[in-house]
Structure 1
Amino acid sequence: MADSDTDSDAATAGAGRVRAPWSALEALRPLTLRSCRRIVVVAPHPRDEIRAAGGLLRRLGSRHAEVDVLSLTERPTRTCTPAPVGEPAPDPAPAFTLADLMAGALDDVGGAGGASGDDPDDSDTDPDEAAAEAAYRALGLSVVRRHRLGLPDGGVAEAESDVVAAISEIVGFSDDPGGLCVLAPWSGDGDDDHEAAGRAAEVVTAAYRVRLVRWLDRAWTWAGPDSAEVPWRRARQVLLTDTVIARKHAASAAFLSALGAGRDAAHDAELPDGWAPGPREVFLV
């Protein structure tokens, strides 16, 4: 990763500023996970997994891999990539609308499966569950098993042993450990919750000898292609089609809409188009 665009050296000079994707990322080897038949996702905050790994999850779901998501904290209250003060959050302007996706116009892996609880005002419906279901349907995942630990935002590190126990409870009872993968944030990401979740995942996967795949999130705001802190030799990419990118944006919109937060979610926007990853998701293996 030594070669890069000259613009990429200013990784932190203008926090939140849109910059061209690093040309060095284009040469990353692909992440395949051909043997993955079940993936356990450790998400520090609700919707983190969609923003960072929605394309990978959709790909695995299209291969009929089982998906478990362990949400460590309740609904997000802070962003990993804030817009500059005084500037509006960038609009990703997806090529397809949420209505197009939900109508099935782009269903290339079959129906998304009917899930109940679409009305956030229904007193019998958990709004967080309704939001997650709406997001996964928009992404194109038909079955996702959700587990919630209920920690406060910013409190993952203080309960790290509980996180280890929760991941172990899901991973330890697998009847197919050879086909199991764990997806979690990188433990050097730069966000306290993300790093604690990553450390807990490392402990569990080492103990049970299952494969760990790490995503980058906050690191995109401070790391460059020459950053020695990031183990770039372990980096792999999943290229995203326009359809998948649109689905990720639609999934985020569906999540926020189900919570009634569609117009007040500038703090929780997608990574802006043109940010470091570009039309790809990047993972460390």
Structure 2
Amino acid sequence: MADQVDLSGRIPAPGGARPPWRELEGLRPLTLRACRRLVVVAPHPRDEIRAAGGLLRRLAARHASVDVLALTDGPGRTCTPPEGLAVPMGPERPVDDLVVRPDDLADPDTLASVLARLDEAADDDPVGETSVDSEEAALEDAYEALGVAEVRRHRLGLPDAGLAGREADVVAALSEIVGFVEDPHGLCVLAPWSGDGDDDHEAAGRAAEIVCAAYRVRLVRWLDQAWSWAGPESAEVPWRRARQLALSETVRARKLAASAAFGGRPGRDRELPDGSAPGPREVFLV
């Protein structure tokens, strides 16, 4: 496809106008018949469901095992709560209660009291285990709605919006999973496209490319943020490598239900499935 418009700045079209996506209807279908184990690299919670929920369901229906390497625990920037719903920030704590004064360190009884208060504050940490567990519960509900019965999740716990500086950690963690697979010929890795336009997605994509090249494993890439700045005529996207997975009404409904587990906006998702190509399809680069 020839590039008719300069989209190098990755600026969304004015007024939310979208390019003529009908050209994507002619993409060749994605076939992963030999895939018996899928390893997914997910920069943020629910990224893989948004962009590739239909593919995950199809492979699971074929009894392929699914591993998800979750790079960050925090909510991704693409996870938007419904309008009018406040995001819980955790219990408020009086700041003065956590001040340690020099005199406190000299008195064993006072110091013990201060340490006890600090331990109590750590137990109430809103970004601690409680929030992570609630995220895991939402993911479990989302996969159940999607119809994927079993997923092995591996947490890396890296900072959101900081993956570009931690690519070596992603490479190491992914290598630990890929390098010990008994049947590498039946293995596929699914990751964001390294040119997607989001720093975390691109870092995850580059790490996946390094590992897959080293172990000679097939890599399938999804598009996410690219849909906000690229069109079918954009030369920045290697459309010759694009493949589509057509989604039935049932699968699209399941993706909507999975999105609702994270507080998605059903109206918006019906118009443009979150992180997916416009229309009843998912698009990948192979």
Q: Contact 2:30–2:245 at 8 Å: present in 1 too?
A: yes
Pair 1:44 & 2:43 matched:
yes
SS in structure 2 at match of 1:213 = strand
Change (3 A) 1:77 1:181: closer
C-alpha distance in structure 1 between counterparts of 2:131 and 2:233, whole Å: 51
8 A contact 1:39–1:66 mirrored in 2: yes
1:124, 1:27 → 2: CA distance?
A: 43
Distance (Å, rounded) in 2 between the aligned partners of 1:270 and 1:51: 10
How big is the alpha-carbon RMSD for the aligned residues of Structure 1 and Structure 2?
A: 2.9
Task: For 2:284 and 2:194, locate their aligned partners in 1 and report how far apart those are by CA, in whole Å.
Answer: 12
Asked whether the 8 Å contact 2:19–2:231 carries over to 1, the reply is no
Answer whether contact 1:50 1:251 (CA < 8 A) is retained.
yes
Bigger helix fraction: 2
Change (3 A) 1:52 1:77: closer
1:284 aligns with 2:285: yes
Q: Structure 1, unaligned stretches of length 5 or more?
A: 5-9, 83-87, 90-122, 257-261
Pairing of 1:101-120 with structure 2 (within 5 A): none
Alpha carbons 2:2, 2:234 under 8 Å: kept = no
CA contact (8 A) 1:21 1:277 kept: no
Query: Measured at CA, do residues 11 and 31 of structure 1 come closer, stay the same or move farther in structure 2, by a change above 3 Å?
Result: farther
Q: In percent, how many aligned pairs have the same letter?
A: 72
Counterpart CA distance in 2 for 1:67 and 1:51 is: 16
CA distance in 1, matches of 2:188, 2:78: 27
State the partner residue of 1:218. 225
Q: CA deviation at 1:11?
A: 7.3
Higher-Rg member (1/2): 2
Alpha-carbon distance, 1:40 to partner:
0.2
Contact 2:41/2:190, CA 8 A, preserved across alignment: yes
Task: Please report how far the alpha carbon of residue 14 of structure 1 lies from its aligned counterpart in structure 2 after TM superposition.
Answer: 2.5
Aligned CA distance change for structure 1 residues 77 and 63 (closer, same or farther; 3 Å):
closer
Say whether the 8 Å CA contact 2:29–2:243 is kept in structure 1.
Answer: yes
**Per-residue CA distance 1:35-82 (angstroms, 9 max, x = gap):** 0000000000010000000000000000000000011111324128x8
Tell whether the 8 Å contact from 1:3 to 1:24 is kept in structure 2 after alignment: no
Structure 2 length-normalised TM? 0.74
Partner-residue secondary structure (3-state), 2:252: helix
Q: Following TM superposition, by how much is the alpha carbon of 1:3 offset from its aligned partner in structure 2, in angstroms?
A: 10
Correspondences of 1:1-285 after superposition (within 5 Å): 1-2=1-2, 12-14=12-14, 17=16, 19=18, 22-79=21-78, 126-254=133-261, 256=262, 262=263, 270=269, 272-273=271-272, 276-285=277-286
- Cα distance in 1 for partners of 2:270, 2:131 equals 33
One-letter amino acid matched to 2:139: A
How many angstroms does 1:198 deviate by? 0.1
Shift of 1:21: 5.5
Letter in structure 2 aligned against 1:160? E
Aligned residues of 1:41 and 1:49 also touching (Cα < 8 A)? yes
Paired residues, number: 232
Work out the CA distance in 2 between the residues paired with 1:75 and 1:21.
Answer: 35
Moved over 6 A (4+): none
